[in-house]
Chain A
Amino acid sequence: MSEIIIVPHAKIYAYILEKFSDGFNYLLDITAIDYSEYIIKQEEDFALVYILRHENFKEHLVLKTYLPELKIETISDVFKGADWLEREVYDQYGITFVNHPNLRRILNHKEFIGHPLCKSYPITKGQFLYETDDLLDEMNNRLLSKSVVCKLESGSFSECNKDLMFLNLGPSHPASHGTIRTFVALDGETIECAVSEIGYLHRGFEKSCENHTYNQIVPYTDRLNYCSAISNNIAFVKAVEEMLGVAINERIQAIRVMLLELSRIEDHVVCLAAVLVDMGGLTNYWYMYNPREDIYDLLSKLTGARLTNSYMRVGGMANDLYEGFEADLQEVIKKVQYGVAQTLSLIKHNRIFHDRTQNVGVISAENAISYAMTGPNLRATGVAFDMRKDAPYYGYEKYKFDVVVGSVGDVYDRVMVRFGEIDESIKIINQVMQNLPEGEINVKNASIALPKKEAVYTTIEGAMNQFKLTFEGVKVPLGEHYSSIEATNGELGFFIVSDGSGTPYKVKVKAPSFTAMSAYPEIVEGGQLADAILTLGSLNIIAGEMDR
């Protein structure tokens, strides 16, 4: 279980500021907990949780503060990333952040009444939206804050010295990946101001977790970052296993590492294929997408599903590698390498590619940290933060690989970092497969792993065990825990609150796409409209993970 520091609510701002100057300058997540139905009565019904990471990237802190009233000081002046995170807490729990610049709903729609993650909100109570938000007031505030217009005494706006045109990019737009909306004010082709609206794919993952057992949640995690489903499975079961305090053997660890890296490849190829299509390079799409099909074939042979694998279980995985897996894997890797080589030969010395990507969509390292960007997007700015190196798990320290970093933080760097990471992932996979340890693929513990099928069909204990584990779920000890891995888009974390039963009391995902998207408006402002499209593609925003 994570060590949790309790801070009185009146002191939280000062405390965070103090920690900030101690080097905890990276805000991973903010969330709340509604304790009103918790098994042990707590000080207050609501508590806020802040998760911070140190600038050495090795340590993290979990702070908790109980709220006597649903109100607290904002920290959005300390961390840029706090803006959206606090909006989410406001939206889901109704907690007000005093002095927040733009406290409005973010995931749920504007006609929504109530706060869905409160325990009192019924899980299936849907609410229709009749008209989409026009975002005009948000845009006006943005225009004012950037002094594009100013407010006159009469309350109306001053004449603008620019001839602005307003345009919606998305949500139904091919380059906005279906679910992301950015409302822009254009001066010619230049974006003066941008505001993004998300939540179009908010599917209530976190609320759904509260009425499913731990193993039933695994399929839901598939659909967070659906481009690399297995890495979400692993992040989730890793958090639960840590809460249970079970150690998994080396074989399980090694297979997980291998699948994590395979997912990374799977995810990067689709991101790169899409970004090159956005640039008009359709040929690359065929080169990059074909190896993905080969990965699908391999995974469906292994797990039974192409995309939504649900392969992990608490305490292990669904089944062992099949015979001949390694040969198939080597074939797939060859095809990936071929696809990557062909694509690189098309773009490496391609003038159009360089002109369109270099110094486009730039974010500085400092800003990226303030927005809590992670993964390839952060590494593209030159910050060599990689959980696999800085806070290794599953024996990553044993494997030889390099962290790929960029220097400018532009589209070019983000694309090239991903190309580099594909090579590094292949290196890791090869090292894993060279000496794959022997062993069971599930922990030997009747209260965690399902019994063997023979035992279920032939013994009463086996049948009872199966029944209890399936219906009641794996019982996780009382407590609160944050755990994370280096997923394809960056640090993917789960904060879980358990009340001792087989169903989590609360689950919160620290989603890398969410924080990356919160930086997007600032990145694209001042740039060209066409570059905004490329920037979005290169950030690899996956709506399922961002909106949850």
Chain B
Amino acid sequence: MELNSPSLEVAITTTLDEAIGWARESSLWPMIFGTACCAIEFMSVAASKYDISRFGAEVVRFSPRQADLLIVAGTITYKQAPILKQIYEQMSEPKWVISMGACACSGGFYDNYTTLQGIDEIIPVDLYVGGCPPRPEALIDALLSLQNDLRTNKYNPNRHKDFKGRLDHV
């Protein structure tokens, strides 16, 4: 197409970062790490009534290698923890993590010998969503706020560089 063709009359100038942020915003591919009751609420988020696809994040992947947003929905036990860590590590950068529900955030009301007291003991988390389970609106709100942050380039790719989880070997 020639530069002086009528369809290119308008040119927009922007920075590369902004252009990338704008593109990322609506092309998040979530990987859902659902283990318990919260995963059932995630099913609602994906179903027609709440319909996460309205926000450009409906391409739910179950392969970490194809996803850039990890949604941890449900209780993570000590038995599950190494698997969560492995899944997180298999995702390529840039990646974000939403912790959905009281259990993932802090162990919830399972303060006992089986349950990890928050996934941030294992992997870094970007957004916490409270609730047991959170309503679908709460998860959508988290997604919107993540998108907002992406648009404004809030996330420094090196933000978790110094993170050391309990399962990271010394």
User: B-contacting residues of A (Cβ < 8 Å)?
Assistant: 108-109, 116, 121-132, 171-174, 177-179, 199-204, 207-208, 219-220, 222-223, 226-227, 270, 285-286, 289-290, 292-293, 296, 306-308, 543-544
Contact = CB atoms under 8 A, between A and B. Distances in A.
B36 interface: yes
B167 interface: yes
Interface stretch (B5-13, B14-22, B112-120, B155-163): B112-120
B47 to A, nearest CB: 4
Given A116-B113, A171-B83, A174-B62, A200 B37 contact: no
Given A129-B82, A178-B34, A207 B47 contact: no
A307 B113 contact: no
A127 B113 contact: yes
A204 B112 contact: yes
8 contacts: A125-B113, A130-B167, A132-B79, A203-B77, A223-B37, A306-B135, A307-B40, A308-B133
B78 to A, nearest CB: 5
Given A126-B78, A171-B83, A203-B110, A306 B115 contact: no
B133 A296 contact: no
Interface in B127-159: 132-133, 135
A178 B39 contact: yes
B74 A290 contact: no
B14 to A, nearest CB: 38
A155 B34 CA distance: 42
A203 B49 CA distance: 31
Interface string B38-58: 011101100111000000000
B62 A108 contact: no
B41 A108 contact: no
Contact of A126 (B37, B40, B80, B114): B114
B40 A227 contact: yes
Nearest to A175: B62
Contacts of B115: 126, 203-204
A142 to B, nearest CB: 21
Interface of B: 33-37, 39-41, 43-44, 47-49, 62, 74-75, 77-83, 87, 109-117, 132-133, 135, 166-167
Contacts of A289: 43-44, 47-48
Contacts of A207: 112-113
Contact of B35 (A122, A123, A132, A543): A543
A273 to B, nearest CB: 8
Nearest to A174: B62
Given A126-B116, A179-B35, A293-B47, A204 B78 contact: no
Chain B residues touching A, majority SS:
loop
Contacts of A200: 35, 77, 79-80, 83
A290 B49 contact: yes
A127 B49 contact: no
A202 B40 contact: no
Nearest to B44: A293
A263 to B, nearest CB: 13
Contacts of B37: 222-223, 226, 307-308, 544
Contacts of B41: 306-307
B132 A308 contact: yes
Contacts of B82: 129-132
Contacts of B49: 290, 293
A178 B44 contact: no
Contact of B47 (A109, A227, A286): A286
| Interchain residue pairs A-B with the least CB separation, the first 7 | A226-B37, A204-B112, A174-B62, A109-B79, A204-B114, A289-B47, A178-B35
A40 to B, nearest CB: 27
Given A109-B78, A127-B78, A132-B83, A121 B113 contact: yes
Contacts of A131: 82
A123 B110 CA distance: 10
> Which of B79, B110, B112: most chain A Cβ within 10 A?
B79
> Which of A108, A122, A126, A292: most chain B Cβ within 10 A?
A126
A203 B75 contact: yes
Given A200-B80, A203-B110, A223-B36, A128 B43 contact: no
A152 to B, nearest CB: 34
Given A124-B112, A131-B82, A178-B39, A202 B47 contact: no
Given A172-B87, A174-B62, A293-B49, A201 B113 contact: no
Contacts of B83: 132, 171-172, 200
A173 B87 CA distance: 11
Contacts of B47: 285-286, 289-290, 293
B152 to A, nearest CB: 32
A178 B33 contact: yes
Contacts of A177: 34, 39
Contacts of A124: 111-113
A29 B82 CA distance: 31
A122 B113 CA distance: 8
B36 A290 contact: no
Contacts of B166: 128
B36 A128 contact: no
B58 to A, nearest CB: 12
A264 B167 CA distance: 41
A203 B40 contact: no
Contacts of A172: 33, 62, 83, 87
A147 to B, nearest CB: 32
Contacts of B36: 178-179, 201, 203, 223, 226, 543-544
> Which of B41, B75, B82, B135: most chain A Cβ within 10 A?
B75
Given A126-B115, A132-B83, A178-B34, A202 B48 contact: no
A451 B57 CA distance: 49
B135 A203 contact: no
A54 to B, nearest CB: 35
B62 A201 contact: no
Contact of B114 (A108, A130, A178, A296): A108
A176 B115 CA distance: 20
> Which of B83, B117, B167: most chain A Cβ within 10 A?
B83
A23 to B, nearest CB: 38
